[in-house]
Amino acid sequence: MMTALQVTLLVLVAAGATAVVLTRDPIRQVVSVSIYGLLLAVLFMAFQAPDVTLSELTVGAVALPLLLLLTLAKVRKQEE
């Protein structure tokens, strides 16, 4: 059986993913994708997968947004 916490988190993750897609400005999108990564990490924790939680926390919430930010900074610099 799915618990109320798991259902809530699934709904939050779906909302988060939609928010990432609907964010138009890339810089803001980086922030929303980071928060989405955090939500996913909590979801994995609620589904009893702490190892995936750790990977998702480090990669989804930190590493990916960081690399995206640096890439955006580089692209903007070249456009100037």
Partner 1 sequence: MTPRQRRWIFLVAGGGFLAFYLWGLIGLPGFGNYPGPYGDIINAIAVPQTHATGVVSAVNFEYRAFDTLGEEFILFIAATGVATVLRHLREERDTSAVDEAKNRDVPATSDAIAMVTLAFIGPTIVVGWYLASHAQTSPSGGFQGGIVLATAFVLVYLAGQFIVFKRLSPIALTDAIEAIGAGSFAAVGIAALALGAAYLTNILPLGSTPGAVNSAGTIALISFFVGVEVAAAFILIIGELLEQTLIVREGDR
- Residues in contact with partner 1 by CB under 8 A are 1-2, 50-51, 53-55, 57-59, 62-63, 66-67, 70-71, 73-74, 77
Q: Which is nearer to partner 1, 19 or 61 (CB)?
A: 61
Least separation in angstroms between residue 59's CB and partner 1 is 7
Q: Which is nearer to partner 1, 19 or 38 (CB)?
A: 38
What are the C-alpha distances in Å from 65 to residues 7, 14, 49, 80? Answer: 26, 19, 23, 23
Q: Which is nearer to partner 1, 18 or 58 (CB)?
A: 58
3-state DSSP percent of the chain in helix, strand and coil, to 5: 90, 0, 10
Integer Cα distance of 33 and 73 in angstroms: 17
